Amino acid sequence: MNMLKKRKGDKNDVQIARKPMTGVIMGLALFCVCLVIPTTFAQAASPQASIRIDGSSTVFPITEAIAEEFNAIERTARVTIGISGTGGGFKKFCMGEIDMVNASRPIKATEIAACAAKKIDFVELPIAYDGIVVVVHPTNKWVDHLTVSDLKKMWEPAAQGKITHWNQVRPGWPNLEIHLSGPGVDSGTFDFFTEVIVGKSGAARGDYTASEDDNVLVHGVATDPGALGFFGLAYYEANKARLRAISIDDQNDTNGRSPVAATRENILEGRYRPLARPLFIYMAKPALARPVMVRFVDFYLKNAAAMATDTDGVALPETVLSQVRARFQKRTIGSAFSGAAAGATVADILAGR
Asked if residue 197 lies in contact with residue 248, where contact means CB atoms within 8 angstroms, the answer is no
pLDDT for 49 equals 87
HSE-CB at 269 with a 13 A cutoff on CA atoms is 8
Return the pLDDT at 47.
Answer: 66
DSSP classification of residue 7: P
What pLDDT does 283 receive?
98
DSSP element (H, E) containing 68: helix 60-73
CA pair distance 287, 84, nearest whole angstrom: 20
Every domain of the chain with CATH number 3.40.190.10 lies at 2-128+277-350, 131-268
For the residues of 146-195, what is the DSSP string, one character each? EEHHHHHHHHSGGGTTT--BGGGTSBTB-S-B-EEEE--TT-HHHHHHHH
pLDDT digits (tens, 9 = 90+) for 187-213: 999 999 999 999 999 999 999 999 988
CATH fold, domain 2-128+277-350, is D-Maltodextrin-Binding Protein; domain 2 (3.40.190)
The pTM score is: 0.84
From residue 308, alpha-carbon distances to 244, 280, 314 in Å are 22, 12, 6
CATH number, span 131-268:
3.40.190.10
Peptide bond into 138 cis (omega under 30): no
Rounded Cα distance, 297 and 123, in Å? 11
In angstroms, the CA 41 to CA 43 distance is 5
Amino acid at 163: I
Residues in the chain with pLDDT values less than 70: 1-47, 251-257, 342-343, 353
